[in-house]
């Protein structure tokens, strides 16, 4: 069956969504951005049409599906701040779960049964093995992770009973920016380690806090798997093509398979920026795992995906983006 090149990117004005639109356009697709801009940015919509709307608005979704008849959907729209999910679980379930249900119903009604879902390693909960495989138990420890797992479960049921095929991509720590500096990471409030460290190096904040120095790791600080946003975008585009080509539903980890400690990350930011900044030691945060590292072998096997950017590239592209940005 011949399919069109229009891809509906829900939440395409956000960080990973906008980079995925860039990658899709480079591959000859036309990304149709659907976003309510509660977290996304209008100026990040550069590679295709914009349709403003909320994923909880079924009538609006029906209009957009009827207008474009997309070949597939890439679903990024979600509240993502873990700490906020603990304070306000209802908002996370309303947006992330009810909103996803609305989107899935609209896609099914339009007979668009191919969806790439932006999931997370937070669906696993506390790691029982490192690196973590896709077969790891899924026991989330916060409402954010739980909301993403519920959507994965909905997709599994739709595959089983409706022939609705999906790829759930479980990211580890997204980082970096478009190497050409056209788009990058911008959150309010910012909670991600690399932008926080760069802001400290730029003098935009007083310093950087390291939460915990007594973990069972090589320097006592947490270990995380930082993966470049353009590598994530590459994986989404590959997943779209995989579904268009008739691939079966699957969940895949996206990470480099290499762990970086928080202290190693700070050293890299200092080296690349050429600037020193104040670092404060703080107590452990509740819910922080000692190490989160992906086993990415399945993504290579299924999608032919392998990350191309190392930590130096991640921090360099992020530094170039933030240093040029006037956002403080």
User: Are 42 and 71 spatial neighbours (Cβ–Cβ below 8 Å)?
Assistant: no
Give mean pLDDT, residues 310-328: 87
**Per-domain boundaries in the chain:** 6-175+227-254, 193-225+257-324
What topology is assigned to 6-175+227-254 in CATH? Rossmann fold (3.40.50)
Q: Is 90 buried (19+), middle (13-18) or exposed (0-12) by CB count in 10 A?
A: exposed
pLDDT at residue 326, as a whole number: 56
pTM of the model: 0.95
User: Are 220 and 242 spatial neighbours (Cβ–Cβ below 8 Å)?
Assistant: no
pLDDT at residue 3, as a whole number: 67
Buried b / exposed e across 302-317, counting CB within 10 Å, b at 16+? bbebebebebebbbbb
Backbone angles phi, psi at 205, to 5 degrees: -145, 160
Measure the CA–CA gap between 52 and 64, rounded to whole angstroms: 10
What is the tens place of the pLDDT at every residue in 100-152?
999 999 999 999 999 999 999 999 999 999 999 999 999 999 999 999 999 99
Nearest residue to 8 via CA among 27, 26, 35, 38:
35
Give mean pLDDT, residues 241-261: 97
15 has catalytic annotation: no
**Annotated catalytic residue, options 15, 144, 171, 215:** 144
What is the tens place of the pLDDT at every residue in 33-74?
999 999 999 999 999 999 999 999 999 999 999 999 999 999
What topology is assigned to 193-225+257-324 in CATH? UDP-galactose 4-epimerase; domain 1 (3.90.25)
What is the tens place of the pLDDT at every residue in 267-278?
999 999 999 999
């Amino acid at each position: 069956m011949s399919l069109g090149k229009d891809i509906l990117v829900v939440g395409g004005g956000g960080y990973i969504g906008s980079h995925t639109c860039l990658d899709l356009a480079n591959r000859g697709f036309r990304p149709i951005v659907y976003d309510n801009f509660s977290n996304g940015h209008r100026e990040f919509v550069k590679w295709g049409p914009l349709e403003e709307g909320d994923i909880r608005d079924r009538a609006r979704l029906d209009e957009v599906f009827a207008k474009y008849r997309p070949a597939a959907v890439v679903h990024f729209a979600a509240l993502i701040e873990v700490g906020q999910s603990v304070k306000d679980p209802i908002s996370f379930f309303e947006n992330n779960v009810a909103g996803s249900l609305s989107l899935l119903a609209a896609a099914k009604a339009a007979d668009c049964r191919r969806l790439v879902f932006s999931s997370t390693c937070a669906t696993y909960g506390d790691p029982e093995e490192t690196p973590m495989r896709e077969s790891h138990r899924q026991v989330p420890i916060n409402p954010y992770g739980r909301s993403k797992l519920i959507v994965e479960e909905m997709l599994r049921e739709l595959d089983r009973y409706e022939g609705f095929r999906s790829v759930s991509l479980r990211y580890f720590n997204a980082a970096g920016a478009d190497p050409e500096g056209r788009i990058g990471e911008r959150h309010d409030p910012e909670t991600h380690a690399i932008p926080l460290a760069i802001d400290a190096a730029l003098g935009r904040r007083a310093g950087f806090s390291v939460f915990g120095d007594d973990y069972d790791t090589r320097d006592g600080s947490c270990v995380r798997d930082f993966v470049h946003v353009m590598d994530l975008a590459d994986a989404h585009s590959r997943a779209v093509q995989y579904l268009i080509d008739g691939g079966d539903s699957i969940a895949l980890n996206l990470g480099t398979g290499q762990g970086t400690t928080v202290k190693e990350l700070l050293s890299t930011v200092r080296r690349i920026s050429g600037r020193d900044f104040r670092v404060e030691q703080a107590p452990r945060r509740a819910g922080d795992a000692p190490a989160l590292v992906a086993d990415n072998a399945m993504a290579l096997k299924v999608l032919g995906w392998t990350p191309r950017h190392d930590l130096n590239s991640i921090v360099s592209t992020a530094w170039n983006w933030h240093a040029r940005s006037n956002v403080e």
